[in-house]
Structure 1
């Protein structure tokens, strides 16, 4: 994982995929508003559910997928707000300080559901003004957990449900081990902070638990789900990711 340790972020292909998916989403109405017609279903639409999405490039794609879901699935009516940022994470606060941002977002956005997805860029040294903590060192683990706790406590509010989505299986062996390590931390801190952890690793794995570029989506049909970098998703993959998440938080069946 030398590319991440050197501070290089997963960005070119991920940005292209997410940009294309977002542009399509915007062309259809980014606010996930449904056009009205004379059907009884549209006359009695489901209650609007407000969702805030925070995180990195994977969260960016999840956001776009949720908007598409709301657009095409008339059983849900989602108002999804994007706070995710490509090339960010919980390690490089010199790029973007999520601890500070989460507090500001939570204060202004009263969404009843917050979905967080981090970690894609976090297999590297934590840099602070006083010291550097090398990846997986004792100091790194302590600092990383503290940042997770700060973000979670910042977004927790009475009447609000908070979900942390774990990292998916990936096709790069050096990333895979690191992402499993991070998922263990995420699950632990989610439980400690009283929020729900959603495991996503197995959703896109083969029957024998291996990485696969193509596979059955949420509807059971086989399609290309993963981007060429074997970390991010295709537009179809992000749509399926959003379906799985929506099902886990009981927005859909």
Structure 2
């Protein structure tokens, strides 16, 4: 084949690929930090994404990615299932309708803050909401296999490329209120932050705090506390899972600062506990490791992107979080499986 025709074939192939995946690249650009690079990327990708959506081939690309268990919006092919619709929990009869006992029917006037998480039954399952970014999406999918469906209803609310920094991109406080009012969870597991290494933006897109300034930690801490406040507003318990150690050295320092904020916020919030993913999955001497020691076994638990977990990793993570909920909130051990 003449060199000219080869070049034409290559260019046409690149153009088709770009149009095919333009919506995915546009979503990634929208969630990226504000700046010239983001502006230029959106200027180029927006019309291509519109063409892709109009033709209908963008959904084909997303379908192919999901069919092989990949997240269309993430590089590295991390497994990220889509969130489910927020379930609506029907109102349950008031067990204290006879007027006896305190708010929880125990006769001593104790409040929900002092009580352990309720014991579930097949007719009144425990409701567990798992919220956050793509880490939470993977966690939620495998938590459905760790928690026993006979006793627990898991609602998967992980949304890719989201976080607390960019309210203009995704408003988590608003969504958390919807989850609380519709699903009425007993336990909320939060895992997010990988997309928050950027300046804080308001819902209107106004910059609230520039990353790297003294205002950023205080502003971010306020958003974490607000998220915990909403999640626990109707009596739910919260386990906030910190960011795991990453293979990317450039992300580690900021992730550790975020984890410090999560841990502090949980320490001053009633009904909240912090799960230290960093220390649980860190190799004491080497730092980052893609493996986990389970008894005598050494198991691969991380994806190739150096951040997300694989199927076994998410299963272990869900189990460890459930164990913490047993210690902190009296979660019944019969609600989840310990074995892998």
TM-score, length-scaled by structure 1: 0.78
| 1:17 equivalent in alignment to 2:93 | no
- The corresponding residue for 1:239 is 315
User: Which one of the candidate residues 135, 148, 153 is aligned to 2:224?
Assistant: 148
Shifted more, 165-174 versus 125-134: the winner is 125-134
Residue 171 of structure 1: SS of its match in structure 2? coil
Report the alpha carbon displacement of residue 4 of structure 1 after superposing the two structures with TM: 5.9
| 1:97-120: CA deviation from partner (whole Å, max 9, x where unpaired) | 112111222111112111111211
Structure 2: how far apart are the matches of 1:196 and 1:176? Answer: 22
Q: Which residues of 2 match residues 93-132 of structure 1 at below 5 A?
A: 93-128=167-202, 129-132=205-208
Structure of larger gyration radius:
2
| 1:176 equivalent in alignment to 2:238 | no
Report the alpha carbon displacement of residue 49 of structure 1 after superposing the two structures with TM: 2.2
Q: How much is the aligned-residue C-alpha RMSD, in angstroms?
A: 2.8
Report the alpha carbon displacement of residue 157 of structure 1 after superposing the two structures with TM: 3.3
Structure 2: how far apart are the matches of 1:93 and 1:243? Answer: 31
- 8 Å CA contact 2:201–2:209 kept in 1: the answer is yes
Structure 1: how far apart are the matches of 2:309 and 2:252? Answer: 15
Report the alpha carbon displacement of residue 6 of structure 1 after superposing the two structures with TM: 5.7
Report the alpha carbon displacement of residue 208 of structure 1 after superposing the two structures with TM: 2.2
Residue 12 of structure 1: SS of its match in structure 2? coil
- 8 Å CA contact 2:245–2:288 kept in 1: the answer is yes
User: Which one of the candidate residues 131, 139, 142 is aligned to 1:62?
Assistant: 139
- 8 Å CA contact 1:18–1:235 kept in 2: the answer is no
* TM-aligned CA distance change 1:222 to 1:109, over 3 Å: same
- The corresponding residue for 2:55 is none
Report the alpha carbon displacement of residue 45 of structure 1 after superposing the two structures with TM: 6.7
Structure 2: how far apart are the matches of 1:133 and 1:121? Answer: 16
- The corresponding residue for 1:229 is 305
Shifted more, 141-150 versus 179-188: the winner is 141-150
- 8 Å CA contact 1:65–1:240 kept in 2: the answer is no
| 1:34-80: CA deviation from partner (whole Å, max 9, x where unpaired) | xxxxxxxxxx9797321011111111111112111135xx9x83210
- The corresponding residue for 2:213 is 137
- 8 Å CA contact 1:4–1:123 kept in 2: the answer is no
- 8 Å CA contact 1:112–1:159 kept in 2: the answer is yes
Residue 232 of structure 1: SS of its match in structure 2? coil
| 1:211 equivalent in alignment to 2:288 | yes
Structure 1: how far apart are the matches of 2:212 and 2:190? Answer: 22
Q: Taking CA–CA contacts closer than 8 Å with sequence separation of 6 or more, which of the two structures ends up with the larger relative contact order?
A: 1
* TM-aligned CA distance change 1:50 to 1:141, over 3 Å: same
| 1:188-218: CA deviation from partner (whole Å, max 9, x where unpaired) | 111222221111112211242611112224x
- 8 Å CA contact 1:103–1:151 kept in 2: the answer is no
* TM-aligned CA distance change 1:198 to 1:220, over 3 Å: farther
